Amino acid sequence: MTRRPLEILDKALNQKPVIVSLKGGRELRGILQGYDVHMNLVLDNAEEEIDGVTEKRGTLIVRGDNVLYISPSVE
């Protein structure tokens, strides 16, 4: 049975970290706390790696227009 993308995101809520790739080459990692049909995301404990240094970002709201993909984090 084919699952719809939003059903897959439901399973990722409050679970292991996800990686969110954004336009402009940025990538965030954090716990998915919520989303909507426009792919606006709420990430908790978000981090971004810049020049090999991990920067903690805390809780972020990411506008769906900027999201390229969401993937489970490999730990």
Report the domain count for the chain.
1
Residue 58: CATH number of its domain? 2.30.30.100
Identify the domain containing residue 32 by its residue range: 5-72
Backbone φ and ψ for 15, nearest 5 degrees, come out as: -110, -140
Specify the pTM: 0.83
* DSSP label at residue 23: G
Q: Which secondary-structure segment (H or E) carries 33?
A: strand 27-35
Share of the chain above pLDDT 90, in %: 59
Mean pLDDT across the chain: 88
Backbone angles phi, psi at 4, to 5 degrees: -80, 150
pLDDT tens string 25-39: 999 999 999 999 888
